[in-house]
Amino acid sequence: MSAPATPNSENLYARAREVMPGGNTRTTVYRKPHQIYAWRGDGCRITDVDCHVRIDALGNFTSLIHGYGNRQILEAATRQLEAGTCFGMPTESEIRLSEILCDRLPSVEQLRYTNSGTEAVMNAIKAARAYTGRPKIAKCEGAYHGTYDPAETSQDATPATWGDIDRPGSVPTAKGTPQGVLDDVVVIPFNNTPVAEAILRASGNSLAAVLVDVMPNRAGLVPAKPEYLAMLRRVTRELGALLILDEVITFRLGYNGAQGRFDIDPDFTTLGKIIGGGFAIGAIGGRAEVMSVFDPSKGPPAVPHGGTFSANPMSMSAGIAALEELTPAAFEKLEALGDRFDQGIGACFARHGIKGQVAGLGSLRRVHLTDAPLSDYRSTFAADGAARVSALAKALFDEGVIIAGNGLMAFSTAMEDADIDEIVRAFDRALLPFAS
Ligand code: PLP
């Protein structure tokens, strides 16, 4: 299908270009020839300013697990809006949200809030450094953890820059990242247990923490191998380093998060996205002993942490409502939607003779246009044909379905089987030019 006419978006973009660099604030939502502006969301659909309605199979980059206009979230947020959006005082809502999260996450006894996942990761890194008194942070090659310098290192590595597999380079993402920052980042290959272990051991007693996401989107959305995660836990303990589990996305993998699903016991957990019910949020959690670095009650804390809008009651109240809606039954529904999509897209690939595969678990998927085995950032980079997947995402947009440019998708409880079937039918049409 050719792109529908979007004169209102075009006009808005002309205005945006005057006052914002490239007319844009989030690089991830930038598109050519101009951005498409949202007008409103209902359930799992977005209507743009030209009145085109599309199924939202991305949910603001995985953050809207209940879609748009969920009644309970709406009521909780409206009540809070009337009572006051933020105060220079704490509110009971931050205690309640913490109680829910501590109850669900086996490794978390205490939490603190931020305004984004990026800030949560930043504070977890600072906390690990303060707790251990060590400088180095290890992270998996290519994995995305937000835009804090050490955490984003290597996320855009290419064959020209990434080095040998047993000595991956600390490739900066933002130009201007100081060498001093890069010197304290140890890059390990995802899912390569012996090589990652050797690199970690070589860091010895200068390693403060390993930061890991069990299913990193940019490394293909391929789940971590159990032995890889077991090695990270064992080796960090042996070296006296901490394990930071980034659950900003993967918390949506189950009632007890990814740590419940993968049976892993991190020292710190970082959260964000769905725990704010559609409002800006991040959180750092862990055992009381490691979280004590933030404790101001006994004198100046090792890591002072504030934030004008941290733990604001809008995000807390909406988050409480979102999590209360996220029952075991809701997770069963999300799993079933994921399974239905897998079956539908598998049939599409077969019908068109397309070498494709779908990675992911639960309500998360990433579509790849390759049948090569994917296990980490390098194999995904080599096999994926990013330009082809991005072309597929554009074609789907014109067919009325929104997915990320790299093929990432997130299903929501606002979807029913019929919505998944509609998504699959759009894939069926959009995949035609990719048929061999
Ligand atoms: N960690 C992971 C795994 C993420 O996917 C993201 C964002 O997509 C972040 C951290 C950063 O979260 P935020 O965008 O809220 O800063």
Q: What is the pLDDT of residues 366-411, one digit of tens each?
A: 999 999 999 999 999 988 677 899 999 999 999 999 999 999 999 9
Q: Is the CB of 249 under 6 A from ligand 1?
A: yes
Q: Is the CB of 121 under 6 A from ligand 1?
A: yes
Give tens-digit pLDDT for 76-135: 999 999 999 999 999 999 999 999 999 999 999 999 999 999 999 999 999 999 999 999
120 alpha carbon – ligand 1 mean position (Å)? 9
Q: Is the CB of 279 under 6 A from ligand 1?
A: no
Instruction: Flag whether 193 is in a domain.
Output: yes
Instruction: Mark whether 95 and 242 lie in a shared domain.
Output: yes
Average pLDDT on 174-192 reads: 97
Question: Does a cis peptide bond (omega within 30 degrees of 0) precede residue 21?
Answer: no
Backbone φ and ψ for 127, nearest 5 degrees, come out as -65, -40
Average pLDDT on 146-174 reads: 95
Give tens-digit pLDDT for 273-283: 999 999 999 99
Average pLDDT on 211-218 reads: 98
Domain boundary among the residues 274, 295, 325 is at 325
Instruction: Flag whether 39 is in a domain.
Output: yes
Q: Is the CB of 116 under 6 A from ligand 1?
A: yes
Instruction: Mark whether 200 and 283 lie in a shared domain.
Output: yes
Instruction: Flag whether 413 is in a domain.
Output: yes
**Which residue did the predictor score with more confidence, 385 or 269?**
269
Spatial strand order of the sheet with 282-286 comes to 110-114, 282-286, 268-272, 242-246, 207-212, 136-140, 185-188
Instruction: Flag whether 1 is in a domain.
Output: no
152 alpha carbon – ligand 1 mean position (Å)? 10
What pLDDT is attached to residue 384? Answer: 63
The tally of domains found in the chain comes to 2
Residue the block writes with tokens 């993998």: 253
What pLDDT is attached to residue 2? Answer: 78
Lowest mean pLDDT among 28-32, 68-72, 105-109: 28-32
Q: Which percentage of the chain shows pLDDT scores above 70? A: 100
> And the tokens for 195?
């090589």
What's the chain's average pLDDT?
A: 96
> 151 in helix, strand or coil?
helix
What pLDDT is attached to residue 208? Answer: 98
Alpha-carbon gap, residue 21 to 16, rounded angstroms: 8
* Strand 38-42 with 45-48, pairing: antiparallel
What pLDDT is attached to residue 319? Answer: 98
Domain boundary among the residues 325, 353, 370 is at 325
Instruction: Mark whether 286 and 347 lie in a shared domain.
Output: no
- Answering whether pTM is above 0.80, one says yes
Instruction: Flag whether 2 is in a domain.
Output: no
Instruction: Mark whether 75 and 60 lie in a shared domain.
Output: no
Instruction: Mark whether 79 and 50 lie in a shared domain.
Output: no
Domain boundary among the residues 325, 357, 383 is at 325
Instruction: Mark whether 149 and 263 lie in a shared domain.
Output: yes
Instruction: Mark whether 292 and 388 lie in a shared domain.
Output: no
Instruction: Mark whether 28 and 79 lie in a shared domain.
Output: no
> And the tokens for 292?
């004590």
Residue 5 has pLDDT above 70, yes or no: yes
What pLDDT is attached to residue 4? Answer: 87
Atom 1 in ligand 1: residue holding the nearest Cα: 145
Q: CATH code at 233?
A: 3.40.640.10
What pLDDT is attached to residue 3? Answer: 83
Instruction: Mark whether 352 and 403 lie in a shared domain.
Output: yes
Q: CATH code at 399?
A: 3.90.1150.10
Radius of gyration of the chain (CA): 22
What pLDDT is attached to residue 276? Answer: 98
Atom 8 in ligand 1: residue holding the nearest Cα: 146
Query: pLDDT confidence of 435, banded at 50, 70, 90?
Result: confident
Instruction: Flag whether 417 is in a domain.
Output: yes
Instruction: Mark whether 306 and 386 lie in a shared domain.
Output: no
Q: Give whole-number Cα distances, 84 to 70, 91, 183, 282, 314, in Å.
A: 21, 11, 45, 20, 8
Instruction: Mark whether 290 and 216 lie in a shared domain.
Output: yes
Instruction: Mark whether 78 and 226 lie in a shared domain.
Output: yes
Q: What DSSP state is assigned to residue 31?
A: -
Instruction: Flag whether 113 is in a domain.
Output: yes
Atom 12 in ligand 1: residue holding the nearest Cα: 117
Measured over the CA atoms of residue 281, residue 287, residue 293 and residue 295, the dihedral's sign is positive
**Residues ≥6 apart with Cβ < 8 Å to 301:** 293, 294, 295
Identify the domain containing residue 261 by its residue range.
Answer: 71-325
Q: What is the DSSP string of 175-224?
A: TT--HHHHHTEEEE-TT-HHHHHHHHHHHGGGEEEEEE-SS-GGGTSPPP
Instruction: Flag whether 360 is in a domain.
Output: yes
ipTM surpasses 0.90: yes
Alpha-carbon gap, residue 292 to 306, rounded angstroms: 15
Residue in 29, 63, 140, 145 to alter for ligand 1 test, most ligand atoms within 8 A of Cβ: 145
Q: Is the CB of 144 under 6 A from ligand 1?
A: yes
